[in-house]
Amino acid sequence: MNVGFHLKARKEAVRVAKRRTPHDAALDALIPAERRDRYERGVEMLVARNELLGLLEATRKAEGTSKRELAHRAGLEEASVRRLLTAKTANPTSETAFRIIAALGIK
């Protein structure tokens, strides 16, 4: 069974069923149809990245660890950890994310 096809068809059905907004019209004007899937994947990746960073910050707060202590345990600069966990546009490398995950004891 081609799960990717079914997910794509479902997304398209939801997109068509939604009421058209000015945002949708702008996307149609700015992003050609043949690049729309790539754009949607990019948006999904950004959302996933933001969810991961939110999870890391929530875990840090829940265990009562300061950003300074987390940086020390992860072997990272304090400023890097602070920016990563507070900036809306943070874009960690996989190594940095894995270091923080390990320092928080997430398995």
> Closest by alpha carbon to 66, among 77, 54, 75, 78?
78
User: What is the number of other CB atoms lying within 10 angstroms of the CB of residue 56?
Assistant: 21
pTM of the complete model beyond 0.75: no
- The pLDDT tens digits for 1-14 are 445 555 666 666 66
> pLDDT band at 15, cuts 50/70/90?
low
CA distance to 21, 60, 76, per residue, from 90 (Å): 29, 17, 15
